[in-house]
Structure formats: structure tokens, C-alpha cells
Amino acid sequence: MTKINIKPDCGNSPKKAFIRDFNIAFAEGNASFLIDHAGENIKWCVYGDFDLNGKAAFKEKIKEMQEYPKAKELIIDSIITHGNEGAANGWIVMEGGTYAFCDIYKFQSAGSKVLNEIKSFVIKI
């Protein structure tokens, strides 16, 4: 089971709560939650690793990631949202090491929980 460590203010709005839940789903390997919230034309770039377009490619990458060991711990330092955009940063502790991350999200609209774009920066520390 993944240990979750999140600052209390990372869930004080509906969009912050969604980003929190999305990150928890990622850490715990909850593929259905991640795929359900991806738009048909989603773009996801993990700088220095991959760049994909479309829900089919997103689904394939998420299913591939399910083969990896689950995270031991997820630490979310901050979540920031405004309009149809949001960002989260923190650390994820895996079997092979600890990674600092910052994800930038673009939603279909300000009130939507469907993602059109994710830009991820991940650094092993």
C-alpha cells in the first residue's frame, strides 16, 4: 500500500481535490481513474522521456506503467489551480529511488475534470 503525505490545503477546492486524487491514482496504479479523466485528444509530455497524443496512446502508456512496482510513498508539496489549469509538485518514492515531480495540467474547461494536456517534469534525486 502506498503511503500518502499531502499538505492539508491541497484539497481545499474541487480542482485541487481532483488533482490530489489524480496523483494518488497515479501512485497507486489506478489505471481506470486516470484513463476515465483523459480527453480524447489528450497530450502528455514527460520531458526527456516521451511525448504522446490521443487517448489510445495515453491508455497504452498507463497500462504499460501498471507493470512497474507501485509507489511506496507519494508526497505532494503543493497544488495550484486557476481557471482551466493546475499544477502539482512533490516527490514519489519508488523501489528504484525517489523522484521529484512537477505536473502541469490543462482541463477542457474551468469546471471540467477531463484533462486535455499534461506536462511532466521528473527528476531522480
- Residue spans per domain, the chain: 3-124
pLDDT tier at 66 (50, 70, 90 boundaries)? confident
pLDDT tier at 69 (50, 70, 90 boundaries)? confident
Distance CA 42, CA 29 (A): 19
pLDDT of residue 10: 61
Architecture (CATH level 2) of domain 3-124? Roll (3.10)
Residue 11, pLDDT above cutoff 70: no
Sequence-distant (≥ 6) Cβ neighbours of residue 6 within 8 angstroms: 20, 74, 75, 76
Query: What is the value of pTM for the model shown?
Result: 0.93
Burial of 124 (0-12, 13-18, 19+ CB in 10 A): exposed
- The one-letter amino acid code at 7 reads K
